[in-house]
Structure 1
Amino acid sequence: MLAGAVYSEVADRTLIVDWRRSRYSDSGENTFYSLFNLKNIESTSEIPNTGDVRPQSWDSRLDLSMHQAYVQDGWESWDREKVIAHYSINFDIIDYEEEVTVSWDFDQIGKLLRHFPECQNIAQLFHYSAQKFLDVAPDIEREFINHRSKLPERYLGVHIRYTNEFAENKGLVEKSRYFEVIKKAVGRASQPFFLACDNEAVQRELVYRYPNAIVIEKWFSESGAPLHLNENCPDKLANAQSALTDILLLAHSSHLICNPNSCFSECAQYFSPHFPQSIRSVLPRRRYANAAAALQGKLSRLRSLW
């Protein structure tokens, strides 16, 4: 969504955010506006009924989700680069003549960096766009303020990813490593700190060790599957709202303990008033160096696009 907002600003277009068929709700409502409010950009929630659209793969079917279009078109396997080329505009081009342009990916945001000399890298551009274009919905703001009031002015944020999906895709950091880093940071101090965790057993153990840990009440998956975008969740919107509150509280911490490979922790950076935040990585030094090298490789490949 942030990539689309940045493109809309550069191309002087009205932004339409359509999360009606998102995995944050089963009701069919546009759940974006239950999570965020837009600011400093011309926007609408109305989907135009038009065939004047680029890419043409969306002609007369703007009511479909990305997944629905993908299935309807009979793709046999997922190829992200080909799918982006087929279903998203090229961010190098900002003067399309069509009434509507469609983008569902964020991969191309690096192509827009040249329009923002104040941003030295993609992370700064994401932070710029989150700060400029997004406010959280009032209910989430109230929940954030409620939990923020329980924490000191400067506080530690801890984010623990410990689900099956993260272990399979990015490698699991043992909980003992988290506890080791937390112990060094907290010591014997009794000041509260904020904990966002996706594993109920790990959260319970940590809160037992540190009763001063502040957590948000949330739904947990019994199977060890991810909390978010989980089809078994009984209330997907409430789950997304609690996740966003977690992100805000992590974002406002003065120091953040996390796995830098986590997109959740990365999102917290973009909402942080302390950007760039002070990060204490739970990755062993060698793995952290490898992760940093991999990130630099990704940035280099993105730079080759613009």
Structure 2
Amino acid sequence: MTNYIVVKGTSGIGNRVFAVATGILYAQLSGRQLVVDWRDGSYSNSGTNLFFRYFDCPVAQSVEVLPATDSIYPTHWQNKLNRSLGSVINESGLSCYKDLSFDVSRLDYTETIIVLSAYTHKIGFMRPLFTGSASRFASMNNLEILQLVLQSNLSLKEDIRLQVEEFKREYFADYMIGVHIRYSDMKVPLSEVESSLASIIRSVKSKHPNYKIFVATDSQEVLSSFKQKFPVIISTNKWFSASGKRLHQNPEECEDLIQNGIEALVDLDLLAACDELLFASRSSFGLLSSMLMDKPQAIRHDIDTQKPLIKRVQLKLKNLAKKLKIGG
């Protein structure tokens, strides 16, 4: 009899991919069949499972394989597996993801179906499982494990990959500096991005005078500003919110949610194809793009880790307060 782990999609592309990576590793360690469910409507209004429109993942199957059963953990998901995480949270009054997710540090669940609900990876919580045949993971840090899992099991659909390759052939230079700027709902300090980028350019231009800068951002205003200040910037042609809201989970403004996801994935892969990348790891999208860089000499510049320790702690507390809705 087959047992299953279902990974529910939530939030943006980066969040979702990190959750899937957790599911892939847990499925390998537990012997369960991985099922990915991205029918929540963030990238489609039709109820389509968009994970399989965007990715090839040989170890994952879609929800159609799930049996009809009440043997589900957490029990909040009984008779609700076809629902989105957000709708179940709203209906149940639960305030935490953990109430709708199993504990990834355990392998002893007897239920046929266990559900993972997470907005980021849970690799750190899985460390008690890294024994015996899985002991090779014990000496690796979380990001190394994620990188290994994703690069071994996940790839873009061919049509999306071809869009990436076409853009690279037409616009990329011999040396590329990638910049990711999340600004709509998670404002990265632009002055820090500008000063860091200027520093990178000073170190690059003597060796690579024909360099270019690829910028991926969720703000058309930020993109226009950077193009005025750094004339060698290139970017993809994509949809922006006229009101300045975030690009994902914005069905009120975005007319083609599926294309919105494809545009995000193209940007993600182009960032990962650069020789150097400037990003802020507070953004799952920026962090994911840095992990997917596969050039041996790739250089990563994380604005958040460049801050003094006290500022990093203050930033984490500020972001935590936002999630918990503490303060004004």
Corresponding residue of 1:234: 255
Matching residue within 282, 287, 294 for 1:261: 282
Give 1:1-306 correspondences, 5 Å limit: 1-39=20-58, 41=59, 43-46=61-64, 47-75=66-94, 78=95, 80=96, 83-84=97-98, 86-105=99-118, 106=120, 108-113=122-127, 114=130, 115-118=134-137, 120-149=140-169, 150-163=171-184, 165-167=185-187, 172-173=188-189, 175-187=190-202, 189-231=209-251, 232-274=253-295, 277-282=298-303, 286-287=307-308, 290-291=311-312
In the alignment, structure 2 segments of 5+ residues that lack a partner are: 1-19, 317-328
Residue of structure 2 equivalent to 1:304: none
Measure, in 2, the Cα distance between the counterparts of 1:155 and 1:245. 16
How many percent identity over aligned positions?
24
Pairwise CA distance, 1:255: 0.9
Once structures 1 and 2 are overlaid, which stretch shifts more, 86-95 or 205-214? 205-214
Normalised by the length of structure 1, the TM-score is 0.82
Whichever residue aligns with residue 90 of structure 1, its letter is: D
The alpha-carbon deviation at position 63 of structure 1 amounts to 1.1
String of CA shifts for 1:18-69, please: whole Å, max 9, x gaps.
Answer: 1112411111111111111103x25344143221212222122211111122
Change (3 A) 1:182 1:92: closer
| Amino acid in structure 2 at the alignment position of 1:101 | I
Alpha-carbon distance in 2 for matches of 1:262, 1:276 = 23
Counterparts in 2 of 1:283 and 1:271: CA distance versus 1, 3 Å: closer
Q: Determine the C-alpha separation between the residues in 1 that align with 2:305 and 2:123.
A: 30
Give the CA deviation at 1:268. Answer: 0.6
Taking the aligned partners of 2:191 and 2:292, their CA distance within structure 1 comes to: 28
Structure 1 runs, 4 residues or longer, greater than 6 Å off: 292-295
CA contact (8 A) 2:181 2:279 kept: yes
TM-score normalised by structure 2 residue count: 0.77
Residue in 2 aligned with 1:302?
A: none
5+ residue gaps in structure 1? 296-306
Which residue is 1:301 aligned to?
A: none
Secondary structure of 1:130's partner? helix
Paired AA for residue 3 in structure 1: T
Distance in 2, matches of 1:157 and 1:178, equals 12
Cα displacement (A) at 1:12: 0.8
